[in-house]
A and B are shown apart, each in its own frame.
Chain A
Amino acid sequence: MSGEIEHDQGDLWEVFIQEDDNAPHTHAGSIRAADPEMAIQNARDVFARRGKAKSMWVVKSDHIKATTPDDVAPFFDPTADKIYRHVQFYKHTLDDELWKKR
């Protein structure tokens, strides 16, 4: 509350929507609400006014653990030199040759 005006806009929630069958839930934005029921109703009214929603999640923003820009580099770095995790690492020409001979 600040000044003489009463404000309680509720807590901050993040909204995730699945738009099509077999699509992942993607972040749509945030809303304010006092409780989970109200959160999901507000999320529908704000982010799904035109169909295009198969499923919806809401989660309190402060329940999300996220990376920060500062720790991103050391956190993701270990995968950078593991080129054997990529398809480009492997050659299959020899296999094809073998295959043709059979």
Chain B
Amino acid sequence: MSENIANLEEQFNRRIANGETIEPKDWMPEKYRKQLMRLISQHAHSEIIGMLPEGNWITRAPTLRRKLALLAKVQDEAGHGHYLYSSAETLGISREEMYDQLLQGKAKYSSIFNYPTLTWADMGMIGWLVDGAAIINQTTMAKCSYGPYSRALLRICKEENFHKKQGMEIIATLIASGLKGKEMVQESLNRFWWPTLMMFGPHDTNSPNSAEMMKWKIKLKSNDELRQRFIDMTVEQALEWGLTIPDPKLKFNGKIRSWETGEIDWEEFNRVINGNGPCNHERMGARRTAHENGSWVREAARAYEEKQRLRNISAA
């Protein structure tokens, strides 16, 4: 029996090495399944919780154009959550189970959404930095070995560029509006810079499952590699806008043509990811309330379906 499993695992590894995709009904190691479930459900939760910081500003958007853009973006994030929940479901976990884990506070989601959105500039900052970081992560992961996740990510990537660009438009507009606008952007950058760098996760040296996940192609680039790519891209953009990155140790290394940064505050990262960030309680509370408020809709939808079904039976 165990020899059989060793055989299957060898076959599985060979398929992955050949660049084949794994589909839901294919045999896979239990650990591959578990890692993917964790990864995809956390990603799905992040999209759903990620709606809250931006939802906070929909009613206060400064113009109708901005309001339409923000509504569309937040609706996209709901869509991303749906793509991801259904791709996680193909692994044998139900959507109800995943919702339960989230609502009972047992599931993790991206730490960035536990920071407050205090000013309108934060809407620009989220699009530019947070969606920008997500694009780097997601375009890389779209080449992962699990078919349903890879396909969901391809769909997501097509929509993310609009998210980033509308954020950059908000920032450029604020900066162009004069000193006050630029100050507002700078203040927002000061709050969001470090938490965005944390989005890429711990250093490679502190990422125990990395090697196996790389072998299985459910991780394709290391956390530090992706973080560096983001830094190099974003610092240039900030300089172009005349903004200051809130890192006194930041300097350009001409030899490797890359920006070197100071150390991330990992204590803060751990605090936030483990439930004690500035907005963790608020986010979970809002999510729970939304779920409870939707309860009668779900009941009504089920009752309607039953009524229709009975009517069709008696008509037949």
Contacts and interface: CB of A to CB of B under 8 A. Distances in A.
Contacts of A6: 295, 298-299
B291 A45 contact: no
B25 interface: yes
Given A29-B152, A34-B302, 6 more contacts: A2-B100, A5-B103, A10-B298, A35-B305, A38-B301, A38-B305
B99 interface: yes
Interface string B188-214: 000000000000000000000000000
Interface of A: 1-3, 5-10, 12, 28-35, 38, 45-47, 49-50, 66, 68-69
Interface residues on B, range: 20 to 34
Contact of B96 (A7, A28, A49): A7
Contacts of B76: 49
25 contacts: A2-B96, A2-B97, A3-B104, A5-B100, A5-B291, A7-B95, A7-B99, A7-B298, A8-B299, A8-B302, A9-B95, A29-B82, A29-B83, A29-B152, A30-B86, A30-B89, A31-B86, A34-B302, A35-B301, A35-B304, A35-B308, A46-B83, A49-B75, A49-B79, A68-B25
Interface in B55-89: 72, 75-76, 79, 82-83, 86-87, 89
Contacts of B23: 69
A67 to B, nearest CB: 9
Given A29-B83, A46-B79, A49-B75, A34 B301 contact: yes
